[in-house]
Structure 1
Amino acid sequence: MSLAVIVVLFGTAFLIGRRIGRYNVVDVAWGLGFVAVATVAAILGDGDITRRVLLLVLVAVWGLRLALHIQSKTVGKGEDPRYRDLLGGDHSVTHVLRKVFVIQGASVWFVSLPLQLSATTGATPPALWPVLAVGIVLWALGLFFEAVGDHQLKRFKADPANRGRIMDRGLWSWTRHPNYFGDACLWWGLWLVTINGPLALATVASPAAMTYFLVYATGARLAEKYMAERPGYREYSSRTAFFIPRPPKRG
């Protein structure tokens, strides 16, 4: 059922993208896809109800915030350079579906495997409650970095005085990618929440895959590719951590 919901959601996003002439709408579908999976798991799962509801709330808070943020950031604007380069001018249906929507839909399904498995298993034993607590704290830390980082960047860009300047304030002075770092923390936290026994450990590849996406495939490294030639970015990079936050270097 989760896979069917993902297919419908990303298929709808493709049709919307086809209609408006830009396919970065898939980024809105990304967060909504996880919310959809968590909703299906909470409703149809026969596992521990408390954990099903908890995971739904945690995923919904993250996914809906992210979808709304991306929608407000991209509405009325053109195609994202990432997708323009990825498609290489070929906007045929099969090419767009294969390069953008199928890959992202499959990624949502794979990364959400811990949620799907957790919905079919029993309660978290008392011995693992500390793991669950650490998971919630890590989720909260991740949401803080992602949401605050996005808010700080939005305010920075809204100020005409900052046009052409590099954002190097707030969380952005501690890491060049607070939003991606926060996303990684959040998904490792969600994975810890699903841990209720040895079987759950088998899904560790899911948060690992999400971290890979955030660092290498579609996240930080790709963003740096488009930022590298901007004036001041090299100096910013020399004093600011790439991914894991640390105090900025002085000098």
Structure 2
Amino acid sequence: MAASNTHGKNLRNAVVALLAPLPSILFYLSFLRHYSGADADADSLSSSLSPLWTWCYHHPLLLANTLFFLNVNFLFWLIGNLQSSHWMIDLYWTVIPVMLVHYFATHPLAEFDSWRSTVVIVLTWVWSVRLTHSYFRREKWQWGAREDWRFSDLGRQYGDNWWWISFFTIYVSQQVLLMGICLPLYIVHSKNNQLNLWDLVAALVCLTGVTIAYFADTQLHNFVTRNEKLKHLGQELVPNLDEGLWRYSRHPNYFGEQLWWWGLVIYAWNLSCGWAFFGALVNSLCLAYVTVLVEERMLKQEYRAEAYKKYRRTTSVWIPWFKKSLVGKEKET
């Protein structure tokens, strides 16, 4: 009976997740259909299209943000409250950049170098597939099995007010963050500059970031799986992962993820839009805060606290580096 209920919940959540973005997708496809059927001459668009479609044509970034606010912020928030679990935004964090890059590339005002666009789209798909695979592997291939532990902690903290506070802390904040870090995807599709060496540098940085994140997540998954087996057998758990990339960095998966976003910033900088670094900077600052939360959580687990304290004293936080010596640090907490 329990297995049947779990299977039913998994199927329902899968259907909900797949249907959730349809309003935005159908609206945008309707806009493209009306645009393609109208006179594409910019001077005559106002008379060829309705005021709504004319506005969609002239304001691609505002349209993207409007769809995000209505479809993700409001609809996902409503679904999260109905299910008492805000799990879906984590899944769509891995998908929204892909949707945005295709939106920017297909908007009628898009202007870009086709090779640069193709490379960036492929890279975004590679990043998304890697992160989506990591998400489902971590969740044991279930849809909506649980929400982010940080959301659960906030829910307990705010109690009865969480239903409305969650709209701002989970959804509005993530719109600002996601739209900010995806600005380079818009810039790539708004400037038709010739390819140069910096495009290669940007692509290599992005690929390096995705590769590091993949191997770091795989090593972490294997470590967690081993500990789950040990727990099931009633044996002592391994307190800390100190192998592979994790020997040289306490959070190599975070480091890889940051390389990906800063690689996109190089694309924007190369197209004379260096101001687009702001989104990646805010993301890095947020991840620095998350790093603190994660490490505090580690130290609250009695079986691993001492091992993690030693690990923290000897191992770099993000950037992989050689181990530090414990000589002279034994009395540090």
| Fold match by TM threshold 0.5 | yes
C-alpha contact (below 8 Å) 1:31/1:67 kept by paired residues = yes
Match of 1:51 among 116, 123, 127: 116
Q: Which region of structure 1 is more displaced relative to structure 2, 51-60 or 183-192?
A: 51-60
Provide the residue aligned with 2:184 in structure 1.
Answer: 114
2:282 is aligned with 1:209:
yes
TM-score by length of 2: 0.67
Distance change (3 Å), C-alpha of 1:155 and 1:91: farther
2:332 is aligned with 1:246:
no
* Number of residue equivalences: 245
C-alpha contact (below 8 Å) 2:111/2:189 kept by paired residues = yes
Provide the residue aligned with 1:2 in structure 2.
Answer: 64
CA shift for structure 1 position 13: 3.4
Q: What aligned pairs does 1:57-72 form with structure 2 within 5 A after superposition?
A: 57-72=122-137
2:168 is aligned with 1:98:
yes
Distance change (3 Å), C-alpha of 1:60 and 1:15: farther
RMSD: 2.2
TM-score by length of 1: 0.87
Distance change (3 Å), C-alpha of 1:5 and 1:57: farther
Partners of 2:165 and 2:146 lie apart in 1 by 20
Task: Point out where structure 1 has 5 or more consecutive residues left out of the alignment.
Answer: none
By relative contact order (CA 8 Å, sep 6+), the higher-ranking structure is 1
Partners of 2:132 and 2:82 lie apart in 1 by 19
CA shift for structure 1 position 82: 0.9
CA shift for structure 1 position 140: 1.3
Match of 2:298 among 223, 227, 230: 227
Partners of 1:31 and 1:12 lie apart in 2 by 18
Q: Which stretches of structure 1, 4 residues or longer, exceed 4 Å deviation after superposition?
A: none
Could you say what secondary structure the match of 1:58 adopts? helix
Provide the residue aligned with 1:23 in structure 2.
Answer: 86
Provide the residue aligned with 2:199 in structure 1.
Answer: 132
Structure 2 residue identity aligned to 1:85? D
C-alpha contact (below 8 Å) 1:142/1:183 kept by paired residues = yes
CA shift for structure 1 position 250: 5.3
2:107 is aligned with 1:32:
no
C-alpha contact (below 8 Å) 2:216/2:253 kept by paired residues = yes
Identical-residue share of aligned pairs (%) = 25
Greater Rg by CA = 2
Task: Point out where structure 2 has 5 or more consecutive residues left out of the alignment.
Answer: 1-62, 231-235, 327-333
Distance change (3 Å), C-alpha of 1:249 and 1:196: closer
Provide the residue aligned with 1:158 in structure 2.
Answer: 225
